[in-house]
Every structure is written in C-alpha cells, then in structure tokens.
Amino acid sequence: MERSARNLIVIAVLCAAGTALLALLFYGSTRISDFDARVTSHFLATPDSALDSPANFGAKCAEPAPLILIAFGLIALGVVWNRPWHLLAAGGVVIGANLTTQVMKLLMAHPRLQGALGVSYPIEIHYPSGHTTAALSAGFGLWLVVPPRWRGWAALAGAAYGLTVAAGVVVAGWHFVSDVLGAAMVVGFWACLALAVLIQAGLEKPLRGFSRTR
C-alpha cells in the first residue's frame, strides 16, 4: 500500500477516535461540559445585536437550498473537467459525512440548558453540528473535484465557506464549540478515506512529503 494512503487511513482512525472521545468528554463529564459552555459563551452574540444577524446568515449558508445549488455546481464541475472518479469520491465524502452526523445526532441528542449561553430557555443541541458537517464536506468536495492547478483557490473558497458556517452556528447559539469540532473530525474521517482510495488507485498523486513505497 502507498505510504501516503496508509498514513491517511491512520489519520482517519484518529479522527474517528477523536469524535468518540469528544462525545465521552463533553457528555460524560459535567466539569468538561461546563467548560465547553463557558468557552462557547465567549463567542455568543447578544440577540438582535450587530453580530446576531450576520451569524444567523452564516449558519443558514448551509441550509438545504444553498447546499443543493452547491451539489449541482460540483456535479457540473466534475463533468466539465472530466473527473468522474474524483466527483464520485467527493459525493462519497458528502453523503458519508452527513449520514454519519445525522445518525450521531439521533443517538446523542442531549438536552443542555441554553441558559449557560445567555438564553433563558432550554433547548436540545445535537452533537455533532450538521450545518458544519455539510459546509466542510462540500468545501472538501470542491477541492477534490477541481484540477490540481485550481486547488489553492478551491481550498480558500472551501475554507471560507466552512469557517463562515462554523462561526455562524456558534455565534448564533445554535451549537457548542464541541459540536463544531466533532463535525470537523467526522468530515476529516471521510475525507482521509476518500483520498487514500484515490491515491491507492493511482487517480491522485501521493501527498507531498510522503515517498512512494509498497
């Protein structure tokens, strides 16, 4: 197996372990969950403040309507640039990551008092963040589908989109910081697996810094 692919699989396993560890820490320890709430509260916007509207707008950038447009855009780019296997891998990451997050949200729904974040009513916040998962997986899909010469710009666009949504869901009070971190690791798991498969199949060059070994 390619050394680069093997290292990516190791990173994928670490992402899966990190996702599980976060859940155990933030859901199993009152002290750590309180710390999570305190950290999140520092980023939380006051309702109807100057930050509240932009934060909600950023979070809603990962709602179904814009995500559908992004999905069609990725398909169009994959067809135009004749990159069917990369498009298939990108679709696998988007579908796999979002299904994983939705299943985890059902299994790990946990009522936490939103009062810790400065709001007076209790809500149920789910781990990990679905909006963040959708945005980060779409951003990675863009990076994967475009030809190598455009990947720098694709990485900037994908990172900007992902950070906008991730910051939005935290600042708007939709999610705790732990929910965003968990979503990032879910996407990391699937992204590493997809890259490993493409590299092993000879459809993607080994990552820079790793030598080709069998």
Domain chopping of the chain, boundaries: 3-200
What would the mean pLDDT of 138-142 be, rounded to a whole number? 97
pLDDT at 121 over 50: no
State the pLDDT confidence band at 100, using cuts at 50, 70 and 90: very high
pLDDT at 138 over 50: yes
Output the pLDDT for position 212: 47
Output the pLDDT for position 75: 96
Q: Which candidate, 58, 54, 77, places its Cα nearest to that of 66?
A: 58
pLDDT in tens, 149-206: 999 999 999 999 999 999 999 999 888 899 999 999 999 999 999 999 999 999 998 8
pLDDT at 113 over 50: no
Q: Which candidate, 134, 66, 144, places its Cα nearest to that of 96?
A: 134
Give 72's contacts (C-beta < 8 A, 6+ positions apart): none
Q: What is the 3-state secondary structure (H, E, C) of 5-26?
A: HHHHHHHHHHHHHHHHHHHHHH
pLDDT in tens, 54-77: 999 999 999 999 999 999 999 999
H or E stretch at 124: strand 123-125
Output the pLDDT for position 124: 57
pLDDT in tens, 10-20: 999 999 999 99
**pLDDT-above-70 percentage for the chain:** 89
Output the pLDDT for position 112: 56
pTM for the complete prediction? 0.90
Output the pLDDT for position 111: 60
